[in-house]
Structure 1
Amino acid sequence: MIRCACIALVLAGALWSGSATAAVVLVYHHVSDQTPPSTSVTPARFAAHLDYLDENDFEVWPVERLLAAAIDGAERLPERVVAITFDDAYASVHRTAWPMLRERGWPFAVFANTDAIDAGHAPYMDWEALRELHNDGANIGNHSASHAHLIARQPGESARAWRERVRADLDQARQRISEEIGLEPEIFAYPYGEDSSALARLVGEDHEFALVQRSGAVGAHTDPLTVPRFPMASGFDSMERFRLAVHSRALPVTSAEASPPGDGVRDPVQSLRLILAEGDYRAGQIACFSSAGARLETRLAEGPPHRLDIAVDGQGSVGRNKINCTAPAADGSGDFFWYSFQWVQEAVLD
């Protein structure tokens, strides 16, 4: 298993990353004004995002370097640093986003679901385009072969059969990327951003890190197999939200326990308990919100560690649901510490 718990590295990460105000991973899909808005940013908006990073002295690092520094303590993080990622390997990344990034000399990663590429489906890149990106320094990561809802069992499928099916899917994608690019991917991005403890165990057998699609920054307490990324798409890509995202910090959650317990596709959540380490945030001002934007009732038992109990009371709906918790930074900067919890309720939805 590639990803293991290493106490020395975790402690080193806590020491190094304490100097950073933000370590953020962004995720895009299409960069086009001709594709579905729910998975797209326009070229003009993408250019504005890049301009903001440039004008505000952000460093743009390869995602693997940022994660090794923020989580494992491999090196000291700069004050402002982001990584840029793209899921699904859409052609607009090669056609539109890459020239903008290449002009600035900025790295990025593309996560490829290989069955669609092998089938030559539009609007995906082909392997020649992905090799061109790789040869220019882009990281080509694993996004599964099928891009299926991997957390869900098929009707009548046993837990063992599910593991065998999912492992074969992950292995197929790794093999195809290795054959076409020349390197086995070390980072995985969950299809639809859907993760579970059982799926993470399979992913961790061959990948160093795994990325989800929910808001939050990366820090020493981040689970390396559940790394948050701020999704950017029309309606959620305004400059105001972008500024909030790239200046966010990682709320130091060391444990998240939903009640009733569940994993994968599960029953409604009634409550969530977070355990938080000390940090430069105002614990007494933590606020938590449902996917629909409703503020949730919370109860804080101050520590350290702090214990935060969140009343969800079944407010979720069928499909993906999130709880976002934020706390203002204690230094008066106006930045926010951020944590997001996700579950998939009753059934998967595209």
Structure 2
Amino acid sequence: MKYVLKLFAAALLVVLLNAVMPPSVHAQNSSESVPILLYHRFGPTVADSMTVTTPVFVSHLEYLKANGYVVIPLRKLVDYQLRKGPPLPPKSVVITIDDAHKTVYTEMFPLVKKYRIPVTLFVYPSAISNASYAMTWDQLREVKKSGLFDIQSHTYWHANFKQDRKKMSQQEYEKSVDMQLRKSKSRLEKELGATVDMISWPFGIYDDWLCAKAAEAGYVAAFTIDRRQVTGADSIMKLPRFLLTNANKGKAFEWIVAKPKPEQPKAGKGNQ
């Protein structure tokens, strides 16, 4: 009975969220769209499937600059979706990064400073100053101090909610989800002295119940890896992003940021 009541409460919260904040709060014009780009790691060579080489990242920034795109802070897009901010510039683009890999500091940070672009970094705190692949707290403070990095949550230890739900009891799962959402937020706010109220879903795993729990925990927006541009038809807790790999260059990258969207180019040398 208790479980049924909890499910009902979560469902009711989703309904209330959709009433108070309808799909992207029915942002001003559902025909408008903004691409959110998602990066993970950088380097001189492709170390894994999530690596975008530094030269390819530079080519992305150069293309945006040469073609009149405006890189805006993620916060501006969220405020606009929530009807708390002014209209966005034409050809707006948002840049995000997940995980806080050490190459964000060594490879990306110098370029962010060079091009003076705002970015949002989603972090899972358990790795910071612990894992050899991750940034340190001092590095996070340094990039935040630049004024170009907004640091937000990626759960506490990059939770796989799909696996957790299968192997845990419902009570254990609910407790784990609450911990992942709340502990990440509180730790980041304590270490960095900034408001943390946005989250990106690890592995792109989300559902209405998780969205409701995130809202309960104090998050105002959440981000997926659904591969399309943000429009007014999108839920504020399910905003899509383009996960970029090193193959997304040339025509493939141009298609991702294009407005209005042309037909997607076919894979091939001409799209590299």
Indicate the residue corresponding to 2:231 in structure 1: 219
Larger Rg: 1
Farther-moved stretch of structure 1 (179-188 vs 41-50) = 179-188
Cα deviation, 1:187-214, whole Å, max 9, x if unaligned, reads 1011111112221111122111101112
1:213 corresponds to which letter in structure 2? I
What is the deviation of 1:152?
Answer: 3.4
Assess, with a 3 A threshold, how the Cα gap between structure 1 residues 228 and 244 changes in structure 2: closer, same or farther. Answer: same
What is the deviation of 1:167?
Answer: 0.5
Please give the alpha-carbon distance, in whole angstroms, between the structure 2 residues aligned to 1:171 and 1:136: 26
SS at match of 2:35: strand
1:234 corresponds to which letter in structure 2? N
Indicate the residue corresponding to 1:132 in structure 2: 142
What is the deviation of 1:79?
Answer: 1.7
Cα deviation, 1:148-199, whole Å, max 9, x if unaligned, reads 2023335552323211111012211111101110023111011111112221
What is the deviation of 1:232?
Answer: 0.6
Larger relative contact order (C-alpha < 8 A, sep ≥ 6)? 2
TM-score for the superposition, normalised by structure 2: 0.83
TM-score for the superposition, normalised by structure 1: 0.65
The equivalences for 1:94-243 within 5 A come to 94-118=105-129, 120-137=130-147, 138-153=149-164, 157-205=168-216, 206-235=218-247, 237-243=248-254
More helix as a share of residues: 2
The equivalences for 1:1-350 within 5 A come to 4-5=17-18, 6=20, 13-15=27-29, 18=31, 20=32, 22-34=33-45, 36-70=47-81, 72=83, 74-118=85-129, 120-137=130-147, 138-153=149-164, 157-205=168-216, 206-235=218-247, 237-248=248-259, 334=262
Cα deviation, 1:56-84, whole Å, max 9, x if unaligned, reads 00111111111222454632122200110
> What is the aligned-residue identity percentage?
23
Please give the alpha-carbon distance, in whole angstroms, between the structure 2 residues aligned to 1:9 and 1:198: 16
Q: Contact 2:81–2:236 (CA<8 Å) still a contact in 1?
A: no
1:84 corresponds to which letter in structure 2? I
Aligned residue pairs, count? 248
Unaligned regions of 5+ residues in structure 1, if any? 250-328, 337-350
Q: Contact 1:24–1:83 (CA<8 Å) still a contact in 2?
A: yes
Please give the alpha-carbon distance, in whole angstroms, between the structure 1 residues aligned to 2:23 and 2:205: 27
Q: Contact 2:23–2:232 (CA<8 Å) still a contact in 1?
A: no
Q: List structure 1 runs of 4+ shifted beyond 3 angstroms.
A: 7-12, 33-36, 70-73, 151-156
More strand as a share of residues: 1
Report the RMSD for the aligned CA atoms in angstroms. 2.5
Unaligned regions of 5+ residues in structure 2, if any? 1-12, 265-272
Please give the alpha-carbon distance, in whole angstroms, between the structure 2 residues aligned to 1:248 and 1:202: 34
Cα deviation, 1:295-346, whole Å, max 9, x if unaligned, reads xxxxxxxxxxxxxxxxxxxxxxxxxxxxxxxxxx6xxxx367xxxxxxxxxx
Please give the alpha-carbon distance, in whole angstroms, between the structure 2 residues aligned to 1:7 and 1:187: 15
